[in-house]
Structure 1
Amino acid sequence: MAVFLKGASLLLVPSRRALAALPAVRLCSSGDQYKYIVVEKRGEKNNVGFIQLNRPKALNALCDGLMVEVGCALDAFEADGDVGAIVITGSDRAFAAGADIKEMQNRTFQECYSGNFLSHWNRVSTVKKPVIAAVNGFALGGGCELAMMCDIIYAGEKAQFGQPEILLGTIPGAGGTQRLTRAVGKSLAMEMVLTGDRIDAQQAKQSGLASKVYPVDQLVSEAVKCGEKIAANSKLISAMAKEAVNGAFELSLAEGNRLEKRLFHSTFATEDRKEGMTAFVEKRKASFKDQ
């Protein structure tokens, strides 16, 4: 991974090795910078990875190239030992207004099925490091699905969430019916999917889709602050905690409790667990080494 200075921030560019390891859909744009996203490190200690979707004329519509670049950036941040959390955002007007319909319009069933269309979008949900979505403006269709792939959603006051695929003669294809139902319950999810209606930021918070709502101009900085809090903890233990919480959505209560117990016991094999408890007893701040 190459690192370039851009203002006061660092611009990350994936290495050839990182590119070679990606699913064979389409390589990231060549050159020193990404084409569809802005990638930086933020926070006082440069320990928060930052990805901004950057297709303003298309309201950050999620074309295939953009999603491959997001995957590249996530791979780079996963490999960066300094990064403890990642923030994904768009613009004040749109987080992402949906998938790029022009790209999908003429696809056939055979192409979609044989190529497992959209499968590589799931990379966001498989990152071990915590990912925060900072959603301003439209998060519709694929944009709503992208936000839901993240671990935490912060919403700007004017944010709008929706799955309007039904209006295009199709259904969500990147987890919309599954993650939305788990987040807000069957009735509201069914209403949104079957009507294409949107919910605003306050409804998203009340229904459990978003955890906090902030003024538009404060949203990104608050998301970065959350990332800094997370990054201050042990990255190793954070990954275990994330795995345990995600297990609650995929396992029965008994199986989830067993997973949690195994992960809890596993923390006792780490230096960070020992340091954290020792620091507490000694009434000092813990110094985690991610070991």
Structure 2
Amino acid sequence: MGKRIFYFIITNVLVLLTISIVLNLIGFRGYTTSSGTIDFAALLIFSAIIGFSGSFISLAISRWMAKRAMGVQVINPNGPMNDYERAVVEKVHRLSRAAGLMHMPEVGIYNSPEVNAFATGPSKKKSLVAVSTGLLQEMDDDAIEGVIAHEVAHIANGDMVTMTLLQGVVNTFVVFLSRVAAFIVSRFVKEELAWIVHFIAIIVFQLVFSILGSLVVYAYSRHREFHADRGGADLAGKDKMRHALESLKAYTSRIKGGEDTSIATLKINNKRKSSIFSTHPDLDERIKRLA
């Protein structure tokens, strides 16, 4: 946790510095008036620029980042393939066509004992479906098809873009509210200390509001998993989708933990027991909803 807070603070300072330089170059001179009060319209614009810039940059490089972070080996559908690779590509392409996708996702495999899969990408035209070697080794053909159908449903539903827009809105309010709160706090100290208190208060309040905002993101992430399960059932059949979820229950302990939330939300299952801080609902609840 300490390392994450340190990186958050460093990232926050660098983002603020970069955005401030850009805004100054285009003539933006801050969100306080000459009388020392807050210009709420200017602050909202400032907050939206920061909030959505980070989200859209993350979306734009999501496919590249996922490949690097997970060590995904992309399969060339026109090149030589082994039996495992050919079967995965065939399933992804067949289910993608059934979902009405006009552009086939990239297909990849990452070397990991965890039994999992994920989908990502900035758009339906530039998406990626990747499965772990553990999933291919442990699951039967029907379960693998159910898992892949779930991931294709995420792409067809446009979940990556929706999550980005939601994160951008949350980020905007986090930046906006943290600066309003910091401005109020800085009014209660001596003028020569106000800027130091204001800066520190921004960091503290942004951490607090980010945690609260993440609850909204986690809640939507759990909701979209139910929706993707239903979409997977439509594509592969309810029996295969249910069989896939039931099979995943046996391998939850082998799921890799401790990764960044942006990666965890992409997968079909996660290690953490379902809670308000979980990106995925409980598997038993997902099976019950599907039935």
Which of the pair has the greater relative contact order for Cα pairs under 8 Å at 6+ separation? 2
TM, length-normalised to structure 1:
0.24
TM, length-normalised to structure 2:
0.24
Q: Which has the higher helix share?
A: 2
Higher CA-based Rg? 2
Q: Which has the higher strand share?
A: 1
